[in-house]
Amino acid sequence: MRIAALADLHCNNTSHDIMRPLFEQIAQSADVLLLCGDLVDYGLPEEAMVLAKQISSLKIPVLAVLGNHEFESGKQDEVKKIFSDAGAMVLDGDAREISGVGFAGVKGFAGGFGERALGPWGEGMIKSFVHEAIAEALKLESALARLRSDKRIVLLHYSPIQATVVGEPAEIFAFLGSSRLEEPLNRYPVTAVFHGHAHRGSPEGRTKNGVPVYNVAMKLLQHVFPERPAFRIMELPEI
């Protein structure tokens, strides 16, 4: 199975000419496509329709999670439905199996990493912020627990480790992911993790348990691998 992964397309009303050749390359290169959030720019249904046209043209399974940009206009439910109607499986604490490979996905949330992670103490607003990250981690854990596949692939938008956000200004690390998302990855056997959000981060890192984590933000891939198409390919051996 050849898995293509991509995030942060930030598709808008003028993206037709960019998306068409990109998705043609994906169709020729992959058996499954993962879209890891920030698929549209301002969270508008008309932006989603541009991308949905490309998704519907693919003959391969497409799995996706939403990113923070999908929530910008408060129309995330409409955007999600447009993607679903186009044939994408939009995961939000859900688990799917394709040809013996399990997939689990959530958007994730921010909060920081390791000893510098924000704790649920003080004002109610801070507690709510931290509880959002905890809730996303619990959804991920629930999805992984439902999978019985030997190989498990995780889709996120926010990063579960600090290594793949390095390259961004250190002051915003805490807003690019949360190590709470790493906890389920260390409790369940996971083959690989894909995320986006950190456009100027690092292309890959590993969890404490050695699971590879890939940052597939489109701008990052274009910068680090300018000679390649703007998506990452991972090939899994036959099961």
Whole-number CA gyration radius for the chain: 17
Tell me which CATH homologous superfamily contains domain 2-235: Metallo-dependent phosphatases (3.60.21.10)
123-175 confidence digits (pLDDT tens): 999 999 999 999 999 999 999 999 999 999 999 999 999 999 999 999 999 99
User: Whole-number mean pLDDT of the chain?
Assistant: 95
For residue 91, pLDDT over 80 is answered with yes
Q: Where are the domains of the chain?
A: 2-235
Q: What is the residue type of 38?
A: D
Copy the structure tokens of residue 180: 């709470």
For residue 37, pLDDT over 60 is answered with yes
What span, in angstroms and rounded, lies between the C-alpha atoms of 12 and 62?
A: 20
Copy the structure tokens of residue 15: 């993206």
Strands (DSSP E) contained in the chain are: 2-6, 32-36, 62-65, 88-90, 94-98, 101-105, 151-155, 192-195, 204-206, 212-215, 232-235
**Residues above pLDDT 70, as percent of the chain:** 99
pLDDT for 238 equals 60
